[in-house]
Amino acid sequence: MNILWLITARSGSQGIPDKNIRCIENVPLIVWKAMVAKGIGGTVWVSTDSEKYADIARSHGVEVPFIRPEHLATSTASSVDVCLHAMEYASAQGLSFDALGLLEPTSPFVRKSSILAAVDKLEKTPQAEAIVAVRESHPNTLFIQPEGMYLEQVASNIASLANVARQAFKTEVTPSGGFYITRWNSFLESKTFYTSQTLQHMVDPYEGIEIDRKQDLLWCEFLVQQQITSLQSVLNS
């Protein structure tokens, strides 16, 4: 498949300022993702609203064909609209692709081999429209309810379990943010990565880490310091 890999890197993060260019192993997160994408093959673009971010990407040999318009740089701008903007730009340049891959810098530990396996799965499933990275969900939804004064729903669920062992629970999954890959024309038609024909691809717990809060970043730094994972392992395993 001829894939356009789009690395999205908005500059206005509030939880962790400039999180998309924070460094792990002295490498900015947008560059981590670009190196993985380059190892897979295809075209790699960074979509950002920031000239600073664009300069960082370009200094590492990553293409930044445009600066994202302001209306796509707000906290309410959707990833779908950001992708459609890049797709429209590609079409205007006379470029043609079979698929679009959205890669977010805030999931740094997703291995190249996992993305390659997902691409292969999508290619071998003609009826599928997309494939999304998922991780095992903890806790089980039996232990989740809307916030309120009492845990009446959780209590009811636990009471219904009787003596069922935790090991008997069905595995539940949730999107991990690691990658989203969609057939080009399917996305233009549905304008979503999630359709009834979206495949799931399980990633391991480390690959499933998504940096949203400061403690997530600290955890990633710790894992690298302890040599549990690294940029080289992401690229080579």
In Å, how far are 45, 81, 126, 138, 181 from 73, measured between CA atoms? 16, 11, 34, 32, 22
Instruction: Show the domains of the chain with their CATH numbers.
Output: 3-135+174-236 (3.90.550.10), 138-171 (no CATH)
What is the model's pLDDT at position 159?
A: 87
DSSP string, 71-100: GGSSTT--HHHHHHHHHHHHHHTT---SEE
Q: Which two tokens stand for residue 70?
A: 């302001």
For 120-173, the pLDDT digits (tens) are 999 999 999 999 999 999 888 888 999 999 999 999 988 888 766 666 778 899
Q: Which two tokens stand for residue 146?
A: 């809307």
For 74-85, the pLDDT digits (tens) are 888 899 999 999
For 167-220, the pLDDT digits (tens) are 677 889 999 999 999 999 999 999 999 999 999 999 999 999 999 999 999 999
DSSP string, 178-209: EEEEEEHHHHHHH-SS-STTEEEEE--TTTT-
Which residue in the block uniquely carries the two structure tokens 């998309």?
20
CA–CA separation, 192 and 149 (whole Å): 36
Q: How sure is the predictor about 66, in pLDDT bands with cuts at 50, 70 and 90?
A: very high
Q: How sure is the predictor about 88, in pLDDT bands with cuts at 50, 70 and 90?
A: very high
CA–CA separation, 212 and 14 (whole Å): 10
- Choice among 17-21, 39-43, 157-161, 163-167 with the minimum mean pLDDT: 163-167
Amino acid at 34: A
Which residues, including other chains, have CB under 8 Å from residue 85's CB and lie 6 or more apart? 47, 68, 69, 72
CA–CA separation, 49 and 71 (whole Å): 10
What is the model's pLDDT at position 202?
A: 97
What is the model's pLDDT at position 164?
A: 66
Coil/strand/helix, residue 171: coil
Q: What's the DSSP call for residue 221? A: H
The answer to whether 198 and 128 are in contact (CB under 8 A) is yes
What is the model's pLDDT at position 169?
A: 79
Amino acid at 144: I
Q: Which two tokens stand for residue 221?
A: 């730094």
Which residues, including other chains, have CB under 8 Å from residue 94's CB and lie 6 or more apart? none
What is the model's pLDDT at position 237?
A: 77
Averaged pLDDT of the chain = 94
